[in-house]
Amino acid sequence: MPGDEVREHRQRSVLPFMAAPAEVRLLRQATTAQLGQWGMPHAVEETELVVTELATNVIKHVGEGTSATLVLEWDGERLRVEVHDKSHSVPSLSAAGCDDECGRGLHLLAAVTADWGTVLTAAGKSVWCEIALGSDPVCQRTERAAAALRSYRPAGGTALEGRMRDVALKESAVELIADLLHWTASCGFDPDDVLDQAQLHYEAEPGIAA
């Protein structure tokens, strides 16, 4: 059961779980409910993505059926998401190849969060991510997209200018969307449904022309 604490202006929720595919959906639901209680519905999409990726990595790389813990902590400016497990194996961006599924997941986390890292503990490790909570969700989305596209540039590629740069960024956007659809399907979701929902969210954003 979740446990909530309030220390000064910090909110904290602790959710133990078993590493299993069915638990990932329950964790997303619990995360959505908790953010709603904290008055942060605008952070649900990004946080659900982080929770799904971290929990799925425990299933794949620590073992299905192992015990783990999700911790959500909010200090007013950033939301910290931690997943604790019993493995001392530390994930690394540099150690994962471009075609490695775990590596792709880590690159996605690095692109959509303000910061992330790993802390070794006596019982295993904690993988954490911090999500910045700005006041302008459209600006946040644009900044996250720009960071993600920069990480998808070909390794060793030269700097491009003008129209060539715009074409390269468009190609990177297509590759990023394709990778997200592959990830979506691997998690058991319908890619077409996700695209439809993304379009609805895009059109519903303030400042988006009809």
Instruction: Please report which confidence band the pLDDT of residue 67 belongs to, taking 50, 70 and 90 as the band edges.
Output: very high
Q: pTM of this prediction?
A: 0.60
Task: Summarize pLDDT for 168-209 with one digit per residue, the tens.
Answer: 778 888 888 888 888 888 888 898 988 988 888 777 765 555
pLDDT score at 32:
92
Task: Summarize pLDDT for 104-116 with one digit per residue, the tens.
Answer: 567 777 777 888 8
Q: Which residues does 177 contact at the CB level (< 8 Å), separation at least 6?
A: none
Residue 156: pLDDT above 70? no
Contact indicator for 75, 33 with CB cutoff of 8 Å:
no
Task: Summarize pLDDT for 26-38 with one digit per residue, the tens.
Answer: 999 999 999 888 8
pLDDT score at 59:
93
Task: Convert 168-192 to b/e letters by CB count within 10 Å (16 or more is b).
Answer: bbeebeeebeebbeebbeeeeeeee
The residues pairing with 85 across neighbouring beta strands, listed in sequence order, are 125
**H/E element holding 90?**
none
Residue 128: pLDDT above 60? yes
Query: Measured between alpha carbons, how far is 24 from 3 in angstroms, rounded to an integer?
Result: 18
pLDDT score at 90:
84
Q: Which residues does 110 contact at the CB level (< 8 Å), separation at least 6?
A: 93, 116, 151
Q: How far from 87 is each of 15, 181, 208, CA to CA, in Å? A: 18, 29, 45
Top CATH class, 3-132: alpha beta
Mean of all residue pLDDT scores within the chain: 78
pLDDT score at 98:
40
Domain-wise residue ranges, the chain: 3-132, 137-204
Query: Measured between alpha carbons, how far is 92 from 192 in angstroms, rounded to an integer?
Result: 31
Residue 74: pLDDT above 80? yes
